[in-house]
Structure 1
Amino acid sequence: MPFAPRLEEVTTANLAAALRIRVRPGQEQNVEPVAESLAEAYVHPAGDAWPRLIVDGDRTVGFLMAFLDIDWRADGTLFRSGLWRLTVDAAEQGRGYGRFAVEAVAAEIRRRGGREMYVTWHAGPDGPEEFYLRLGFRRTGETSGDQPVGVLVL
Structure 2
Amino acid sequence: MSSPRLEKITPDNVEAACRLRIRPDQEGLVAPVAWSLAEAYARPEAAWPRLVYDGTELVGFVMGFFMIRFDPDNPDDRFRSGIWRLNIAADHQGRGYGRFAVESVCEEVRRRGQSRATVTWTPGEHGPERFYLRLGFRPTGEKSGDEVVGELDLRGV
TM-score normalised to structure 1 length: 0.95
2:52 to 54, 68, 74: 54
Contact kept? 2:50, 2:63, Cα under 8 Å? yes
Q: Which residue identity is paired with 2:82?
A: G
Q: Equivalents in 2 of 1:148, 1:74: separation in Å?
A: 17
Partner of 2:103: 103
Contact kept? 2:70, 2:144, Cα under 8 Å? no
CA RMSD of aligned residues (A): 1.2
Contact kept? 2:52, 2:58, Cα under 8 Å? yes
Q: Percent identity?
A: 58
Q: Which residue identity is paired with 2:53?
A: V
Partner of 2:136: 136
Secondary structure of 1:29's counterpart equals coil
Contact kept? 2:118, 2:150, Cα under 8 Å? yes
Tell me how far 1:82 sits from its aligned partner: 0.8
Q: Does 1:10 align with 2:15?
A: no
Q: Does 1:42 align with 2:28?
A: no
Q: Does 1:123 align with 2:123?
A: yes
Secondary structure of 2:24's counterpart equals coil
Q: Equivalents in 2 of 1:91, 1:20: separation in Å?
A: 13
Write out per-residue CA displacement over residues 124-144 of structure 1, whole angstroms, 9 at most, x where no aligned residue.
Answer: 111000000000000000000
Partner of 1:65: 63
Partner of 1:148: 148
Tell me how far 1:72 sits from its aligned partner: 3.6
Tell me how far 1:73 sits from its aligned partner: 3.6
Partner of 2:93: 93
Write out per-residue CA displacement over residues 76-132 of structure 1, whole angstroms, 9 at most, x where no aligned residue.
Answer: 762110101000001111110000011000000000001000000010111000000
Tell me how far 1:47 sits from its aligned partner: 2.2
Where structure 1 has 5 or more consecutive residues not aligned to the other structure, the ranges are none
Partner of 1:83: 83
Where structure 2 has 5 or more consecutive residues not aligned to the other structure, the ranges are none
Q: Equivalents in 1 of 2:60, 2:70: separation in Å?
A: 26
Q: Equivalents in 1 of 2:138, 2:122: separation in Å?
A: 15
Q: Equivalents in 1 of 2:115, 2:134: separation in Å?
A: 19
Tell me how far 1:74 sits from its aligned partner: 1.2
